[in-house]
């Protein structure tokens, strides 16, 4: 079950080219129509870098929707954390803390002293789950990537 990077940026394909600057901000400033494309490329770069490093990672949008789940992360999904209808769903073991951690990360905050939790991993054993806000994601409306879920087998 491969989950590809979903992009809302495809609506810009085939559209007339954006001006090379935003007239409200002056020459040299990035055009508003270009910002979503640049942010999509940035998010794709994050996904590629995490995959090259072998880090199990899941990229989340602002509503908690899964934008990308790398193959290493997909192998860890199972009873403790699963992917259903484009969303991460925790098992009974971590439902309360998982929701609180995700909510905090999606608004750009961390959740007190409890920054991670341990859940059952797919294929047996356990995995450490960390949900981190994506730097600048909350302040930038063009950036779909709002948080990154890192999974590590323990």
Q: What is the pLDDT of residues 44-60, one digit of tens each?
A: 888 889 989 999 999 99
Write the CATH number of the domain with boundaries 13-153.
3.30.450.20
Q: Is the pTM of this model over 0.75?
A: no
User: Phi and psi (nearest 5°) for 46?
Assistant: -60, -45
Q: What is the DSSP letter of 103?
A: H
pLDDT tens, residue by residue, 103-135: 888 887 765 545 789 999 999 999 999 988 887
Asked if residue 107 lies in contact with residue 118, where contact means CB atoms within 8 angstroms, the answer is: no
């Amino acid at each position: 079950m491969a989950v590809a990077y979903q992009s809302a940026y495809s609506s810009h394909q085939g559209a007339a080219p954006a001006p090379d600057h935003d007239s409200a901000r002056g020459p040299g400033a990035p055009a508003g129509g270009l910002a979503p494309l640049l942010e999509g490329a940035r998010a794709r770069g994050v996904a590629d870098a995490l995959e090259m490093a072998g880090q199990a990672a899941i990229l989340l949008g602002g509503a908690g929707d899964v934008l990308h789940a790398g193959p290493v992360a997909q192998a860890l999904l199972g009873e403790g954390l699963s992917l259903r209808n484009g969303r991460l769903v925790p098992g009974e073991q971590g439902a309360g803390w998982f929701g609180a951690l995700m909510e905090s990360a999606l608004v750009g905050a961390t959740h007190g002293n409890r920054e991670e939790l341990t859940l059952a991993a797919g294929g047996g054993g356990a995995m450490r789950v960390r949900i981190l806000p994506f730097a600048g994601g909350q302040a930038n409306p063009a950036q779909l990537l709002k948080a990154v879920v890192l999974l590590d087998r323990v």
